[in-house]
Amino acid sequence: MRQWLVAREVGLSDKRKDVVRDVANAAVESPSSNAEIAAFLDKARSMTPAPGKAPGKRGRLVFALDATMSRQPTWDTACTLQAEMFREAGKVGGLDIQLVYYRGFNECRAGKWASDAEALAGMMARIDCRGGQTQIGRVLKHVRAETKKAPVQALVFVGDAMEESVDALCAIAGELGLLKVPAFVFQEGFDPIAEQAFREIARLTGGAFCRFDPGSAAQLKQLLSAVAVYAAGGYKALADLSKSKGGPARLMIEQMSGN
């Protein structure tokens, strides 16, 4: 899998004041795939247990999608990967997922919180792509609002473009970082403007960035499953997944149990 970048943690200080400076001074590094994956796994270690999840409470994960027309060519592949993630999370139990997507003219929809994997996969299958501008800011604001109602353990976002103010997006991302909501941002394609924004969103929230392409489909499926399982059951659930499936989950648990 190519080009992982782990986001640095957002402290409980005045990070939001430095958002614009961070964007201007951010140096985009290009370490090897192994180094980037290792960095992501090391980051996962610092997230134990799942942030904001009280014992006995269900985990909550927002799964957000860019459903504009530019994603149509690979939409079916994306739906397959996302459906697998829902099913893996469903095996663990204890996780509610909310599907959010934007498309068309000012259309941004959020579904109901659900735990049934097949129902979520069915919802995915009914979404079709339509032309329109990106609405990432509305997604981030929605997650912020949901988190203030009840803790959200993670945001997963899949998109290929960014047509908004990066400064405005980073300001909201900084707030999500303070709320301990990590964003796992997956970029389809190689748009440099989108990449800069996605990396900053991941960095400011304490999450991670990854390239989304057919060559990394198998690993992405495993990683998405691991993120969902972690949000649902924390460290123990991830440890159980690593024993049964190995792969990214196994490497993640090795990092989390190290030192």
Q: What is the pLDDT of residues 65-100, one digit of tens each?
A: 999 999 988 788 777 777 776 776 666 667 888 999
**What is the CATH topology of the domain spanning 19-24+31-46+58-256?**
Rossmann fold (3.40.50)
pLDDT at residue 3 in the model: 36
Q: Output the average pLDDT for the chain.
A: 74
Residue 51 C-alpha from the chain's centroid: 14
- Report the C-alpha gap between 227 and 209 in whole angstroms: 13
Bigger pLDDT: 194 vs 226: 194
What confidence tier does 257 reach under pLDDT thresholds 50, 70, 90? very low
- The radius of gyration computed from the CA coordinates of the chain, to the nearest angstrom, equals 17
Average pLDDT, stretch 31-48? 46
Tally of CB atoms within 10 A around 219: 16
Is 209 a residue whose pLDDT tops 50?
A: yes
Q: What is the mean pLDDT of residues 221-225?
A: 70
pLDDT tens digits, one per residue of 108-135: 999 999 888 778 888 888 899 999 999 9
The domain spans of the chain are 19-24+31-46+58-256
pTM equals 0.74
Q: Give percent of the chain with pLDDT exceeding 70.
A: 64
Rounded CA-CA distance 138/124 in Å is: 20
